[in-house]
Chains A and B, each alone.
Chain A
């Protein structure tokens, strides 16, 4: 497995998991919002080195979904959309508190964006998020999630 090992899963971390078609990533964190943020950072770090990238500004969005797992998909989809449509990738993100009832969940996200033209490509570029085997759940040591990303 690549990435930090989930030793007790008490902190935050992520790793890639074998899948022959595309990219499968697992992440874990003490909170659900932290878990989503950890996974987004893992996916971005998996293909773009943004350490020398030129920061162009901030963007915000509100993601809606019927479940927290769907919010996770929505936040990743926002990152992919901004990359293709505006040529921007997040160097940092802040995920607000998830709100709403079951069936109507919402979360506000703020991104600090860099110009993709100044990023270094280090892996296959994600293009979509699959619902296959999607998972986000609470456990005794915090939250874990798993997503399959089309590259």
Chain B
């Protein structure tokens, strides 16, 4: 559908519809205010929403969250569910290269008012020295070899905790208790293994970060308390994924499916949407490899949490308790009601977070009454949100995953120099530890949508509602 004019019609409060027309199989639905809709000429985010609607087996609609922006194949902020028993497909591009990229929030036993700039500076220096990121192969955990990596791919964060990297309570506060069942290390290529072997416990680069934050505002004190958050509390937010291993798995399976499209007579408007029936040998192989990468991503964030704990213990003498860990690049087999009947669906969330409402049986016992924490990182100069899932979410219990980019990296570079940005942020009391000036400038807060508006629209559209707003105190950029 390249070059196609996309016509949006208003279809409810902060809800827009892209009418279904061939070869779309369902309509597109975009949750956004007018200000949050992709604005730039040449931006293909809405065209990508329509392209996703052509996938075989897709049900209900191709959804876009309020932070939607132009990706490749799927838009970033896209949600699509396919009916497994009706020939529905799985598309690695609908998960993304960085499989199980996600966010983890930890709450510290210290309040903002107890920290002066000198103590924050000392903590940030320690994190700067001890959190591997940027270019290079080093990770925090030197595995003995491919066999131990296989164990980690099967065991995820649980394997890390069992080997002394964390405490059992951490697993209670991870999606799927830190490990997804069904990983198939045998479907992970040698190249993926080689790339992943030396990166367990590393942030990566670009938009990945480890940020020290403070709870600035609590919108719902009871739910915040259930999550373990209180006003003024210092927190740590970690954003990263499955590193080279996940990227290689996506690469390998996109290539394989791209070559085999003719076998299933699948015609696609974008090669990056390459897909195959979920219920096929290739579909099962991808899901097994994807699950292995998801477990790697969770173990990776577990290791980084331990580095943050060591830094907090050394610099401030306090501990960190896990609030929650979410993945926002994943496909999951879930049962949802479609047209009045329960259906087995493959739900792709590409830059979207699962957002379970209170009472959902998949929630850990101590969060059953409150609902699932939805972690929404904003920018290093503005704010981030902790939200909670709402009942009646039509997008298969999904919500936004961040602020959403509006500027390309090279346009961002023209708005500010890295040195100036660091100085501006430090004048606001935010300690910055970059890996390069350019990488810092590419992530300038101006490059993103207004996260307050994204959170407000996410609530108004009935996807999730704000529980707490967090502001940055210090950031280690990848």
Query: What is A's interface to B at a CB cutoff of 8 Å?
Result: 1-2, 16, 18-24, 47-48, 66, 77, 80-81, 83-85, 87, 116-117, 119-125, 127-134, 148, 150-151
Tell whether, in the assembled complex, residue B72 and residue A81 are in contact, meaning their CB atoms are under 8 Å apart: no
A128 close to B247 (CB less than 8 A): yes
> Beyond A1-B410, A116-B135, A128-B248: 13 further Cβ-contacts under 8 Å?
A18-B408, A66-B259, A80-B247, A117-B136, A120-B436, A127-B98, A130-B72, A130-B73, A131-B73, A132-B71, A132-B270, A150-B97, A150-B98
- Identify the B interface with A (CB < 8 A): 40, 42-43, 45, 69-73, 76, 97-98, 134-137, 191, 194-195, 199, 204-206, 243-244, 247-248, 250-251, 254, 258-259, 270-272, 274, 405-411, 413, 435-436, 438-439, 442
Query: Which of A19, A21, A77 has a CB less than 8 Å from the CB of B251?
Result: A77
Interface residues of B, dominant DSSP: mixed
B45 CB contacts on chain A under 8 angstroms: 20
Q: A18-B42, A84-B137, A124-B205 are in contact. Are A132 and B73 (CB under 8 A)?
A: yes
Give the chain A neighbours of B442 by CB distance below 8 A: 123-124
Alpha-carbon distance between A131 and B199 when the two chains are bound, in angstroms: 25
Contacting pair A20 B43 (CB below 8 A): yes
- Complex CA gap A20/B134 in Å reads 21
30 A-B residue contacts at CB 8 Å?
A: A16-B409, A16-B410, A18-B40, A21-B76, A23-B409, A47-B205, A80-B244, A80-B247, A81-B194, A81-B248, A116-B135, A116-B136, A121-B205, A121-B435, A122-B438, A122-B439, A124-B442, A127-B98, A128-B97, A128-B247, A130-B73, A130-B97, A130-B272, A131-B258, A132-B72, A132-B73, A133-B72, A148-B72, A150-B247, A151-B409
Task: Report which residue of B40, B251, B270 has the largest number of chain A beta carbons within 10 angstroms of its beta carbon.
Answer: B251
Q: Is the CB of B407 within 8 A of A125?
A: no
Q: Specify which of A2, A19, A84, A129 lies most central, judged by the most chain B CB atoms within 10 Å of its CB.
A: A84
A60 to chain B, nearest CB (A): 17
Q: Decide if B247 touches A47 in the complex (CB within 8 Å).
A: no
Given A19-B70, A20-B70, A20-B405: A132 in contact with B271 (beta carbons within 8 A): yes
